[in-house]
Structure 1
Amino acid sequence: MGKIHEFLGLTVGLNISQLSQEEKRSAYKAHITYGTGTEFGFDYLRDNMVYDPKEKVHQPYYYAIVDEIDSILIDEARTPLIIANKSSMGAELFHISAELMSSFKSDIDYEHFPETKQVYLTDQGAFKIENAFGISNLYDAEHQDLVHNITQSLKSLTLMKKDVDYIVKDGKVVLIDKFTGRIMEGRTFSEGLHQAIEAKEGLEVTEENEVQATITIQNYFRMYEKLAGMTGSASPSKQEFFETYNLHVISIPTNKPVQRQDNADLVYLDNDSKMMKVINDVKVINKTGRPILIGTTSIEQSEQLSALLKKHKINHQILNAKTEEDEAQIISSAGQTGQVMLATNMAGRGTDIKLSESVKDKGGLHIIGTQRHESFRIDMQLRGRSGRQGDPGSTQFIISLDDDLFINYDEEEMEKFRKKAKVDETGLILSPDPNKFVKKVQETVEHAHHSSRSHLLKLDNVLDRQSKVIYSMRDRILNASIEDAYPEVLHYLNNYIDKTIDKYCPGEKHEIEWNLEGLAADLSLIFIDSDLTFKSFYERPRKEIAQLISVEYDKLESQINTLKNDEELGRQLKRFMLQLIDSNWNKHLDILANKRDGIGLRGYGQEDPYRLFEMEALDDFNLLMENIESAISIRFMDYVKNQYDFGPDEV
């Protein structure tokens, strides 16, 4: 497409993760910049961590066009983008926790809720950990790091599956995109989950990551003034597109009439019966010369099915995260006579399966789906690999009640359906109508995911508003001239003094209760050669104390104004400000992450948990702003006192 744009007089840039900052800046300066949604999001986060405005790469957020928009803005939106730094938590603790967790049993030591992807320790489980570590109460404040470690180890044991959520490649845990089946290069699970998985798999544990910046895909793309996109499967999510992004979904007719035949699902009672049907269908169709694409939902399943095809001497190719280097070549040959291809999640593969003329005459490409996905849209995408541009083709989902979709569904409902089910001699369910039941299960799971995205967005909206205040504060300092940095620090010093007076001499308390020693001690951190002491405040009303301090502040302002021409001090001041904003912001993110993790447990009272979180987060944010201002004031004055000697004339 770039060649067409350039022919029309436009410049085109490509933004990928391996580029240098200079190359990225050049890519962003083009009229049109291509790249992945996650890379754009990470660049936004990195731009808000720089110490020099020239290091920023992004241009203003004007117009975003998103290919496979439902995959990017909905499916991937449950996982926030996170930039992290290495923390100091020891690897040994992860190995100990993994060993301990390996003996834990569901419903005895922990409760697992697969539909919401949550897991909690029982009292029995907590008691076992307390015994193992020789502590009296796991949930004491002093054991916060241990609780975090145990929680991540428990998640790795129960929620994270090898060859489904990740693979082990060259002795490393590598993430898999569950929607495309591809490796997610350079990505790791955050907050210690990656390390917990490494310990579970018996690998070397890497250093844990601490969150430095985070944003959801939703909030990143909502920054753009104009947002649009395209996909073949947006209609089922039109309500969510409107609610979250204020986007309308418009269906565009196909270029040529669709000739593909989509058959009703065949639902079997168990996995073995399903697999026999898949193998038999492949044998029959393969004899006609028609190519077959078999879709699976995980690498684990694709490898099991591959072993079965080999056993039945059916030649085939396999495409998943382990073979993606050969992706284009494998896909390009998939539409040839007699081809059988086994693929994990074919959404957005970007390479059309071209049919030979003889294949078109035989009925085109046949698709077999071996599991229904958690989203109907992804099933549509698998079906859409056949019957492209008016080609003939057919699709058939062959599934069973042992599939992952049903494992995560309500146990009682599943048991009821199993008991009612009438099957033929092959295990095929005849009644009650299995397709109605499958639709109901899929809609329930989709609703749970929609709730999960909504939950994440409600919580992240709070963080998003706060991050915009912090990033605006950073930009103000980053772009300020050296001369303009001084009024900013004087403003912080003034606020520090007011807050210190309120802290030690609160107006609502009697003078006897004031802490004048504390007031003098805290003010001594910023004033130079001050005569203010406990004695100078003793038995004076609050107004007089404030006046004494005001005189000292005027003196301080005059001292600082003598330094305005010192460029080195100005540069140091800007750096102090940015460093202290960042370090305090990182601590704040950690506090909010812990509160966000526990938000589900807070809704048992009469109050709305989201409202509670918003109120607490606001209190924490106000405290954060105070901490930033006081830290900058003290750090700056400490530097000034050490670097400069103020004589009587300057005072």
Structure 2
Amino acid sequence: MYFKFGMLRLITKIVGSKNDRELKRIQPIVDQISALESQYQKLSNAELKSKTEEFKQRLQEKTAASRANLEESRARVVAAPGEDREKLREELDKLENELRESEAGILGEILPEAFAAVRESSKRTTAMRHFDVQLVGGVVLHEGRIAEMKTGEGKTLVATLALYLNALTGRGTHLITVNDYLARRDVQWMGPIFHLLGLSVASIVHEASFLFDPTYIPKDYRFLNLRPITRQEAYRADITYGTNNEFGFDYLRDNMKFSLEEYAQRELNFAIVDEVDNILIDEARTPLIISGPAEESTDKYYIIDRIIPKLQRGAVIQGDPSQEKRAAIEAQGDYTVDEKSKTVTLTETGVAKVERLLGIHNLYDPRHIDTLHHVHQALKAHALFKRDVDFVVKDGEVIIVDEFTGRLMPGRRWSDGLHQAIEAREGVRIREENQTLATITIQNYFRMYKKLAGMTGTADTEATEFKKIYKLDVVVVPTHRKMVRTDHPDVVYRSEQEKFNAVVEEIEACHAKGQPVLVGTTSVAKSERLSRMLKKKAIKHNVLNAVNHEAEATIIAQAGRFAALTIATNMAGRGTDILLGGNPEFLARSDMENEWISRASNLPFQGATRYEDALRELKEKYEEEVQRAETRYRTQAETYEQQRSDALKRSTETQRRLRELSPFRELCQKYEEISATELIEALHEMRSIPERYLEVKESLESSLLSAAGAGAAETRRAFEEALRAFGEYLERWEEADGGRQDLMEALDERRRNYEQRINDYEFAVTNLILSQGGEASVVTEYEEARRAFEQAETRCEEVRQPYEEAIRQAQRNYETKRQEYVRAVEEIREQLEKAPEAYRQRYEEILERYKTVCAEEREKVIGAGGLHILGTERHESRRIDNQLRGRSGRQGDPGSSRFYLSLEDDLMRIFGADRIQSIMNRLGMEEGVPIEHGLVTRAIENAQKKVEAHNFDIRKHLLEYDDVMNKQREVIYHRRREVLKGANLKEEVLEMGQGLVEELVGRYADKDHDPSEWDLAGLNEALHHQFNFRLNLNPEERDHLTLEGLTDRVVEQVTQVYQGKEERFGSELLRQLEKIIMLQTIDSLWKDHLLNMDHLKEGIGLRGYGQKNPLQEYQKEGFEMFEEMVGRIEVDVVQKLYTIEMAREEAVAEMEMQRRPQRIVLSHGGDGEAQARATPVKRQGSKVGRNDPCPCGSGKKYKRCCGK
């Protein structure tokens, strides 16, 4: 083995690594570009601009023949009949690929000249010249690969090269950034380069789009040179900058539109993804979702949240315990927490307690599946999600914290009711759940680009994943100046407290010699814990986390100053470089703001003069109030909470014993035989109520009512009332010829009420029977335990209410003052931005002073060793650790880094603690003494590799499942586009009608039976339901019927009926209706299909227990459901078009307006969601009520027709 690796090293040394060979291949191209520099320097601005037209002309001329062939093929596809179109489309795709290959070859020829033009334009407009290594990065990007470039190496400038070159094709190029700020800033910064060369560049951000225009001067100086434009105009620019969310959501929104003219995006041609590892890997597990409101009550979240604190948390599962150990852990408490898989599981005791607290028989009964789901989400909310770590509560909202950047993500919401469960836990207003209308994963969106490239400072560790999923190679681009940062080995302590003590000691040592320190923490809570420790030592410092992100720019600007100390939560992706000695522009601007702030008389908080200090003091006062309230509450509540827990345990145990007794078991058996599933299926399929259901129901009712005087009078009356109401609606259902749609909702509501009353009354009846028999002691014991629990519960609530009110009041006070302060400061900033000349002189004075100060401090900082990075915990991914380290050693600056760890850290505890603990024991380490050893470093790296592999598996798993949905999504979206393109859908409607006729005739007229045995009456009813006509056959025709003759006759009449409809409606109106009805039917059934696929995915993992492959089962059943949906689309479209009757033309427009989304939510499912409300459409006519007749003329109620 050693010989094998030795040979590999020897071969690599001789021929170079793959990366070295790539760099050598690119070097001659760089030399060509550099050789053109002197030539391009001599060109005037106009001559330089004309180069763009020259390049485009060359490209057009050399691809003219290919373009002509493509246009001819496109025309043939449009003119061809349906059966020939598919074959011609394949030919069209082939010609399209040939044209792209031809363009790629010509762009390769133009590359040296184009890059030389961009380099010259950059020198003239931004005073920045592309270094040779940046040219290498540009070539890598153009070739559709990932360029790994260290922090501070100028990735923003590198992107301009490949963007310009690929924009010459006229197909559009995209630059994807991680946030709106960078999407705006980079356009303002790089826009002049493209503008000088004659290309347009746009920026898309949340709810806004801008075009770079050097002549545009807005009122708000932050938007200097950014002219507001429409989304369509932004995508029609040569180059478009924006965030991954906006590009993805625009794609989904386009595929919900009713006209091709409204589509914003063009083809997905070429994209460069900035921070590619963050977007394509960290965000990959999070699907983009557009959803609409689901009509569900939020009360259930409050009800279930109240029971969770009454459950006893069991042991925490860490790492991969053996089966026996896991079983022992799961036997403890009411639920267990598995930190590795991030799941919470109820134990048997926990299930019994939940059933007892919610008053239901069987939590796993199909009718309670929703309740079970909400219980699990509430448990996750309480056990896995931590305030000020995973989210913060701000302005009465739960706001997610990005685990990779530490930034707040306002608007994003967790899916599947998790966000609502956390809102219930935090006592804030619960927003309603949403139903998915359209969804796509980040992975599948970016895989649609014809060419994709990326750039980041840390990609090499994830090179395998980039290659497998995106087919992207990683090329490590060398730095312009040699990296001189010193990365010290990790230091590991036994406990977290020992680790933090050591961190403080190292900070003190660095602080004493003036070396700036950046401390990286993994959560808000840990950053504030360290801050408190430093305050005790009287060490001045700044804290940057999700809570005080408003002061982010100022804090980062000071992080490289002499003796500066900054504590930051996840510095990765902050997007701002730390300059040694400080950033004079930021510091000057901050001082200007603080001068105005200190003079302002309208500030609600007159304390600290600096903005960031004032925010910190407000937060500290709030924390003090919370701490006082918690201390008061804990001293009173502990006794009552223990009493409540004991009483709940006793009552749950006695209830279980009651349920095992004979009378109880008999009633339970009858109750559980009532199949709610059968009833619900009957309702939705418009079938009669199953006889078995009615028999068992009557038997159960008789058993309950026969118990003379059973139960409290009030409980009996409630049961009899529910029984009577439910029975009346069942009778009405059985008797109804039509109008069943209206009965369904009311009947379903009565059923739920009836079942709840059975629960209550059944318990009262059985208790009475048992108390009169030989089991009176069990009933008495249960009643005593129940009363004890209710008393303890009341006392707990009495103690808890003042505490919760005190917390809420402290939070309200803090939020009010913080908002007022921030608002006042924003007004001051706006005044400064709107009148830049009024303070220009003062600003210049401060700037000159800071330039001198920063230059002097830079030399002192370099002398002290540069910026020191101090990591307090390893992240799950080595890449995130490398991003933190990368903040130091920028562009050849000196610097150093070290990570301090403990066995109590999440990564160590979950994935590697046992191994490292054994190493420490072997080495005989004492408490408080750290370990610094190669074995430990390797063990940590192995733990990280384990997590990386685990997360890769999750992403790969997600992709495998989403590939099923992706194929279906492509079919549906392609179908929508074809409908929108089609001027005449009549032929397609008649084809669908003919297919349905053949199916119906085959169902009612079996070719193996004599025609006299055919069910012609059934066929007639089916034709009337589907096509709104009946077939009139005279006796002679009936005697000579054949299957083919019957089919031809029905098809002929179907065609005549539709022709007659066209004559009445007019061709133009009917063509419009065909398009609208087809689109609304596709959208409605696709929405339902997405929900069904979600439900299928949730439970498919259980198939593994039946020795079946869950993925294969998901693919098989998903395909069957999709086929069923496609069939349903045809049935519904034909039925609506044939049953529709004449309506005024305005109704058609009204119908289209009603169909469009009135309010949509943009979200990230799973890990998190982004929410935005669309502007309501303004109606021209009166509003159509849900129960009004549908304006389309179908005769149905609006909610049952076009309002579905």
- The TM-score, its normalising length taken from structure 2, stands at 0.51
The answer to whether the 8 A contact 1:216-1:460 is kept is: yes
* Pairing 1:582–2:1083 present: yes
Corresponding residue SS for 1:254: coil
1:504 shift after superposition: 5.2
Which position in structure 2 is the counterpart of 1:522?
1022
Equivalents in 1 of 2:1025, 2:476: separation in Å?
A: 66
1:442 shift after superposition: 1.0
Change (3 A) 1:552 1:447: same
* Pairing 1:562–2:1063 present: yes
Which position in structure 1 is the counterpart of 2:827?
none
Change (3 A) 1:569 1:332: same
Change (3 A) 1:613 1:18: same
1:122 shift after superposition: 4.0
- Residue 1104 of structure 2: which of 599, 603, 612 is its match? 603
Which position in structure 2 is the counterpart of 1:619?
1120
The answer to whether the 8 A contact 2:1085-2:1129 is kept is: yes
Corresponding residue SS for 1:428: coil
The answer to whether the 8 A contact 2:518-2:869 is kept is: yes
Aligned positions of 1:410-489 closer than 5 A = 420=922, 422-429=924-931, 433-481=935-983, 484-489=984-989
Which position in structure 2 is the counterpart of 1:648?
none
Equivalents in 1 of 2:445, 2:405: separation in Å?
A: 21
* Pairing 1:494–2:994 present: yes
Rg comparison, structure with higher value: 2
**How many residues end up aligned between the 2 structures?**
643
1:496 shift after superposition: 3.1
* Pairing 1:118–2:343 present: yes
Q: Deviations over 1:394-438 (max 9, x none)?
A: 001001111121333278667756755642452413579321221
Q: Deviations over 1:435-490 (max 9, x none)?
A: 12211111111111011101110000100110111111111122322xx1322332
Aligned positions of 1:201-600 closer than 5 A = 201-356=426-581, 357=858, 358-409=860-911, 420=922, 422-429=924-931, 433-481=935-983, 484-502=984-1002, 518-531=1018-1031, 542-543=1043-1044, 545-562=1046-1063, 565-600=1066-1101
- Residue 292 of structure 2: which of 70, 75, 85 is its match? 85
1:499 shift after superposition: 3.7
Equivalents in 1 of 2:910, 2:303: separation in Å?
A: 29
Which position in structure 1 is the counterpart of 2:240?
33
Specify the code of the residue in structure 2 equivalent to 1:485: L
The answer to whether the 8 A contact 2:335-2:345 is kept is: yes
Q: Deviations over 1:489-548 (max 9, x none)?
A: 323333333344455567799999986655433321233442369999899765454344
1:377 shift after superposition: 0.3
Which position in structure 1 is the counterpart of 2:307?
100
Equivalents in 1 of 2:1013, 2:517: separation in Å?
A: 83
Which position in structure 1 is the counterpart of 2:1141?
640
Corresponding residue SS for 2:340: coil
Which position in structure 2 is the counterpart of 1:74?
281
Equivalents in 1 of 2:544, 2:893: separation in Å?
A: 23
The answer to whether the 8 A contact 1:77-1:217 is kept is: yes
Stretch of structure 1 that moved more, 154-163 or 51-60: 154-163
The answer to whether the 8 A contact 1:517-1:534 is kept is: no
Equivalents in 2 of 1:290, 1:510: separation in Å?
A: 98
Q: Deviations over 1:208-241 (max 9, x none)?
A: 1111111111100000000001111111111111
Equivalents in 1 of 2:290, 2:419: separation in Å?
A: 14
Stretch of structure 1 that moved more, 407-416 or 56-65: 407-416
Specify the code of the residue in structure 1 equivalent to 2:421: A
1:563 shift after superposition: 5.5
Change (3 A) 1:142 1:514: farther
Change (3 A) 1:538 1:179: farther
Equivalents in 1 of 2:1019, 2:272: separation in Å?
A: 56
* Pairing 1:197–2:422 present: yes
- Residue 3 of structure 1: which of 192, 197, 202 is its match? 192
Change (3 A) 1:544 1:322: same
1:115 shift after superposition: 1.8
Stretch of structure 1 that moved more, 379-388 or 78-87: 78-87
1:177 shift after superposition: 1.4
Stretch of structure 1 that moved more, 14-23 or 172-181: 14-23
The answer to whether the 8 A contact 1:528-1:641 is kept is: no
The answer to whether the 8 A contact 1:420-1:432 is kept is: no
The answer to whether the 8 A contact 1:82-1:190 is kept is: no
Specify the code of the residue in structure 2 equivalent to 1:590: L
1:190 shift after superposition: 1.7
Specify the code of the residue in structure 1 equivalent to 2:577: D
Gaps of 5+ in 1: 646-651
The answer to whether the 8 A contact 2:489-2:932 is kept is: no
Equivalents in 1 of 2:918, 2:1003: separation in Å?
A: 63
What fraction of aligned residue pairs are identical, expressed as a percent?
Answer: 41
Change (3 A) 1:63 1:641: same
Corresponding residue SS for 2:284: helix
The answer to whether the 8 A contact 1:564-1:570 is kept is: no
The answer to whether the 8 A contact 1:114-1:408 is kept is: yes
Q: Deviations over 1:96-143 (max 9, x none)?
A: 121223333343444433222333444444444444444444344433
Corresponding residue SS for 1:190: coil
Change (3 A) 1:543 1:572: closer
Bigger proportion of residues as helix: 2
Q: Deviations over 1:143-174 (max 9, x none)?
A: 34333323322332333222222211111011
Change (3 A) 1:640 1:417: farther
The answer to whether the 8 A contact 1:317-1:330 is kept is: yes
Equivalents in 2 of 1:563, 1:491: separation in Å?
A: 21
The answer to whether the 8 A contact 2:874-2:899 is kept is: yes
Gaps of 5+ in 2: 1-189, 210-227, 315-329, 582-857, 1145-1191, 1194-1204
1:363 shift after superposition: 0.7
The answer to whether the 8 A contact 2:990-2:1055 is kept is: no
- The TM-score, its normalising length taken from structure 1, stands at 0.92
Equivalents in 2 of 1:235, 1:85: separation in Å?
A: 40
Stretch of structure 1 that moved more, 491-500 or 525-534: 525-534
Change (3 A) 1:631 1:419: farther
Change (3 A) 1:150 1:495: farther
- Residue 60 of structure 1: which of 247, 262, 267 is its match? 267
Q: Deviations over 1:549-596 (max 9, x none)?
A: 223223234324436744344333322222221111111111111121
Change (3 A) 1:605 1:183: same
Equivalents in 2 of 1:85, 1:217: separation in Å?
A: 20
Corresponding residue SS for 1:160: coil
Specify the code of the residue in structure 2 equivalent to 1:55: E
